[in-house]
Amino acid sequence: MKKYLTLFMGAAFLLGLTAIQAAQTGKSPWEKFYGKLESVDFNNNRFLVTNKTRNTQQEFTWTADTKFVFNKNEVGPKELILNRLLMVQYSNEGGNINVVKVLIRPPLGGRKKAQAPQE
């Protein structure tokens, strides 16, 4: 009984250290890019996002595994409408960008109206 208690206490201690270390780093394994959708190429599964605050652009390619979310509902890439604000979650492994999730923000009043993409 004492042996099991010691093993349990040791495991709990290690789990606690792991949780504390994860909380201290607080870093997600995914990188994020925020910006406005500038263009969409449905034939090649690509889209271009511009972040004017940081004066940067990034082109992304989605796969069958990429999740698109609009108003807390999973949708398809057809919801990519020009001038919409996006948050793109991706991993960057050796220069290979893998888009995990695209959060599509609903249009806000006073902003330039979103336009349907031209195919």
The domains located in the chain, with CATH, are 31-104 (2.40.50.320)
Give the chain's radius of gyration (CA, Å). Answer: 20
Would you say residue 47 has pLDDT above 60?
yes
Residue carrying structure tokens 């001038």: 83
Would you say residue 21 has pLDDT above 70?
no
For the chain, what is the total number of helices (H) and then of strands (E)? 1, 7
Token pair in block for residue 64? 């069958």
Bridge partners, 33 (sequence order): 88
Model pTM score: 0.67
pLDDT, tens digit, for every residue of 51-102? 999 999 999 999 999 999 998 999 999 999 999 999 999 998 888 899 999 9
Residues constituting the chain:
119
Rounded to 5 degrees, φ, ψ at 15 are -65, -40
pLDDT attached to residue 106? 86
Would you say residue 25 has pLDDT above 90?
no
